[in-house]
Amino acid sequence: MNRRQFIGCVAGTAFASALALKVSADTEPFCFAVVADPHCSEGPTQGLEACGNGVDRFLRTIKAMEAMPPSDKSDFVLLLGDVHPDALKPRLAEVTIPVHATPGNHESTREKRALLRSMFPEDFHVEGKSSDYYSFVHKGVRFISVCDAGAGGDHIGHLCSEIIEPPGQCEWLESELCAPEPIKVVFAHIPTERDGQDRDMHLGRNDSRWFNALVKDAQPLAVFFGHLHHPTSSYAVGPTQVFQVRSCCWNFERVPIGFLHCRIRDDRLETRDITTGEYR
């Protein structure tokens, strides 16, 4: 799909979305949670010993969601990579809320990708075939999982890699952003560099520039990233809110751990940053 075709597709989708929003405005609002970098196999972190090890801290996050009032209950969790699936799998039955995961740079072998896919068998499919990227629709909203972690655990993100299967993710993402649902949400592990520069811990320069232009044209409601282990922050690309979410396991400079609570009400996104542990 070339840029002219994509812009034409987006224009057509925008027209369809304007009509669909009249219907979606009557849809019951729903909540979901965004959780980044659980690092489930890690041991206790200095200053966070009371919160247990990595998988304990992830389950602590789930318990915090369970304790919320009924009106704030999350329908599901978006899990933004660096899951360490080998450590989570033995305790997956304790996770009482549906999870939609995306691979991180800590899931950068074929074996770890296969294990992650096996733990969430309803996801990780495109056209009925196994895939490291996927989408799902919930109450009329399309959620799009992008795999931007390449081979070898590289902290620089890639949208194309010999380990990202199947080939063709960029073309697939363009088509997903042209899908008929009026509201779309994108989530991935490694964040784009907002100015398209070379920068550690972000997508590479060219991938960042391509992704930023795509978001500017397609205008999804929101994009969520993890990976940085910084306080949750956000910025706008046109009407799109781009979030960089704190880790639920550990953060640099003793920033509290936690997650992001989200509510979609009509065509709006409401967020609340919730901490689940502080350094002592």
Q: pTM of the prediction?
A: 0.92
Per-residue pLDDT tens digits for 14-24 = 444 443 443 35
Phi, psi (deg, nearest 5) at residue 240:
-85, 130
Residue 267: per-residue pLDDT: 85
Classify 3-22+32-264 by CATH class: alpha beta
Q: Are 36 and 80 in contact (CB under 8 A)?
A: yes
Alpha helices in 146-252 (DSSP H): 169-176, 205-218
pLDDT confidence bin for 55, thresholds 50/70/90: very high
pLDDT higher at 168 or 20: 168
Residue 58: per-residue pLDDT: 98
Share of residues in the chain with pLDDT > 70 (%): 90
Per-residue pLDDT tens digits for 136-158 = 999 999 999 999 999 989 999 99
Mean pLDDT of the chain: 93
Q: Are 76 and 58 in contact (CB under 8 A)?
A: no
Per-residue pLDDT tens digits for 187-217 = 999 999 999 999 999 999 999 999 999 999 9
